[in-house]
Amino acid sequence: MYRTNTCGELRMTHVSKEVTLAGWVQTIRKFGAITFVDLRDRYGVTQLLFGEELTKQLDENALGREFVLQATGKVSERSSKNTNIPTGDIELNVQSYQVLNRSAVPPFTIQDDTDGGDDVRMRYRFLDLRRNAVKKNLELRYAVNRAARNYLHAQGFMDIETPFLIKSTPEGARDFVVPSRMNPGQFYALPQSPQTFKQLLMVSGYDRYYQVVKCFRDEDLRADRQPEFTQIDCEMAFVEQEDILSMFEGMVKSIFKEVKNIDYSERVPRMTWEDAMWKYGNDKPDIRFDMSLCNLKKPGSVYTNKKDQNALISDAGFKVFDEAETVIAIAVPGCSEYTRKQTDEITEWVKRPQIGMKGLVFIKCNADGTYKSSVDKFYNEDRLKSIALATGAKAGDLVFILAGAEERTRKATSELRLEMAERLGFRNPTEFKLLWVLDFPLFEYDEEGNRWVARHHPFTSPKPDQISTMIDNNPSIENASEYLSHPYAGIKANAYDMVLNGNEIGGGSIRIYQRELQEKMFAALGMDKEEQLHKFGFLLGAFEYGAPPHGGIAFGFDRLCAILGGSESIRDFIAFPKNNAGRDVMLDAPSTIDGKQFDELQIKLNLK
């Protein structure tokens, strides 16, 4: 037997027991004639005491960090206890030991605060995974996985695996493709999600399906994306949107309870996509804090049922506002005493190419009730006051105003809101706020490709009362820039996202389940009959054999873990992640394959 106990297990109750431990050497400390070794395994660390005789042996045959060691001896009470670790009351008085394996000197220290940079740690990920901090993350990941499965199992969901070697399932990204040796010249696509399979399972009658499943998307890796990532993928038959919302609100709350012991009893608030964009400039608003947008001016063609406050800023001869499509303000709490240097710095921040604004206007709402602004040449104090009041600013606050083209300005204001919240410490990682965002637009316009694309995916159903708008109108547009006034722009989908602390953690929709409507949808997206049959003939065919009404949702499992773990990065919660260039630096993948493999596949490289 290699061990009787683990390195995290022994307590005062084990004193005088003879035990055998096995693990990795964390540290070696020599004190005169005796030696202390901290032995580590997955469960913890135990101090080993080597007496004089054994220390002499160690002197001859030195141990090193990360050696694999087995030690037998008696558990004894420590004279100086370590209250920082659960085994800190005892130590193992070693009687015999055996080096089970040696270790090269590790390229970084296997400790919480390691000296290893990102690159080395990824190259030696198997060592990095020994570190407590990384282990904690994987434990949390497993706990989330377990909690989700327990909940779904209790609700009658069945875990059904779906294939990886398939045909394209469009989720808006590029496919990873795999050549087929047995079918020369033909390729499988790896699933961007199991979307079409889970819908087919509904047709087959498995009315509650789930899977914790890998998805593959060949995207440019913007910050914190992975080419392969994991979803908790779910689908239900005979449901309406309301059924899905309550079922999965339940799942997330149950994960909160099991993993973080948080009783999230309040109902998750709901907001339409339009309200989210109007109020926060963002379809996944962080609602842990307010700082909502004050729409001072909007273009006529969007948010048609919302009223802006243009009267507050018009007729002042201030060209920047007069000529802008959109003017939006936010009130930042407690910042009225910002110095010139500070406001200049934020102005530079909004001018960065990623934000893309031309400038920033501010109004200081001073504690003494006066108002000072960068535009007081155009607006007297009364007008400044009315603008400030409209934003909800109080004495001591600082109002920022951005002006420009609609999309860019709205996005920039949202970014500024998040940035200020970050600086002011409003984005507390231990506070969790959920939100449902509903009624997304069904389509988005791709100005470059001059065509409509599905905002969620092509299987999402329009709101029932807007089906006719989709059917009765021709999707084509003469002048691409006028897409906002096309009837398609106003069609809303039966789609929903779950947002946690400003991150989309899940998204789904009620699906189309009638062949005719699905064909109309494909046609609206510019697919002719032939292409529809080539790509989705199987699904259209299945819809002819009694497809039930159905809908579903998928949660981004990696992201959910990262947020619950209080981290920004999903990589920290994946055992073997890829870097920003999509590389596995440990395996050195992707890599070339040998000539024989190309021959077998009948493929010739033509690198440009």
Q: Which stretch binds ligand ASP (CB under 6 A): 151-159, 351-359, 549-557, 600-608?
A: 549-557
Shortest distance (Å) from residue 554 CB to ligand ASP: 4
Q: Which stretch binds ligand ASP (CB under 6 A): 265-273, 353-361, 504-512, 569-577?
A: 504-512
> With respect to ligand ASP, which residue has the nearer C-beta, 373 or 460?
460
Among 285, 508, 565, 577, which residue interacts with ligand ASP (rule: CB under 6 A)? 508
Q: Could you tell me if 10 and 76 are in contact, meaning their C-beta atoms sit under 8 angstroms apart?
A: no
> With respect to ligand ASP, which residue has the nearer C-beta, 244 or 418?
244
Among 41, 91, 171, 175, which residue interacts with ligand ASP (rule: CB under 6 A)? 171
Among 26, 509, 518, 532, which residue interacts with ligand ASP (rule: CB under 6 A)? 509
Q: Is 552 in the site for ligand ASP (CB under 6 A)?
A: yes
> With respect to ligand ASP, which residue has the nearer C-beta, 554 or 563?
554
Of residues 559-598, which lie at the interface with ligand ASP (CB under 6 A)?
none
Q: What one-letter code names the amino acid at 116? A: G
DSSP conformation letters of 15-76? TT-EEEEEEEEEEEEEETTEEEEEEEETTEEEEEEE-HHHHHHHHHS---TT-EEEEEEEEE
Among 21, 393, 553, 574, which residue interacts with ligand ASP (rule: CB under 6 A)? 553
Q: How many CB atoms lie within 10 A of CB 290?
A: 14
- d(CA 582, CA 113) in angstroms, rounded, equals 26
Shortest distance (Å) from residue 568 CB to ligand ASP: 21
> With respect to ligand ASP, which residue has the nearer C-beta, 41 or 171?
171
DSSP conformation letters of 280-325? HSSSS---SS----EEEE--TTSSTT----GGGTSSS--HHHHH-S
262 CB-contact burial (10 Å; exposed 0-12 / middle 13-18 / buried 19+): middle
> With respect to ligand ASP, which residue has the nearer C-beta, 152 or 553?
553
Q: Which residues contact 486 (CB under 8 A, 6 or more apart)?
A: 445, 473, 475, 477
- Which of 199, 313, 278 has the alpha carbon at shortest distance from 547? 199
> With respect to ligand ASP, which residue has the nearer C-beta, 434 or 505?
505
For the chain, give the number of residues: 608
Beta strands 208-216 and 434-438 are unpaired
Among 170, 227, 507, 565, which residue interacts with ligand ASP (rule: CB under 6 A)? 507
> With respect to ligand ASP, which residue has the nearer C-beta, 552 or 577?
552
- d(CA 125, CA 548) in angstroms, rounded, equals 46
Q: Which stretch binds ligand ASP (CB under 6 A): 34-42, 300-308, 413-421, 551-559?
A: 551-559
Owner of token pair 């913890």: 44
Q: How far is CA 156 from CA 160, 235, 534, 553, in A?
A: 13, 12, 35, 16
Shortest distance (Å) from residue 188 CB to ligand ASP: 19
> With respect to ligand ASP, which residue has the nearer C-beta, 121 or 456?
456
Structure tokens at 9: 């297990």
Shortest distance (Å) from residue 258 CB to ligand ASP: 23
Shortest distance (Å) from residue 160 CB to ligand ASP: 15
The helix/strand/coil state of 221 is: coil
Rg (CA), the chain: 30
Structure tokens at 261: 């012991």
Q: Could you tell me if 414 and 408 are in contact, meaning their C-beta atoms sit under 8 angstroms apart?
A: no
Q: Which stretch binds ligand ASP (CB under 6 A): 257-265, 343-351, 442-450, 501-509?
A: 501-509
Shortest distance (Å) from residue 313 CB to ligand ASP: 40
Shortest distance (Å) from residue 481 CB to ligand ASP: 29
Of residues 186-245, which lie at the interface with ligand ASP (CB under 6 A)?
193, 195
Q: Which stretch binds ligand ASP (CB under 6 A): 421-429, 466-474, 503-511, 572-580?
A: 503-511
> With respect to ligand ASP, which residue has the nearer C-beta, 404 or 552?
552
By the criterion CB under 6 A, which residues form the site for ligand ASP?
A: 171, 193, 195, 507-509, 552-554
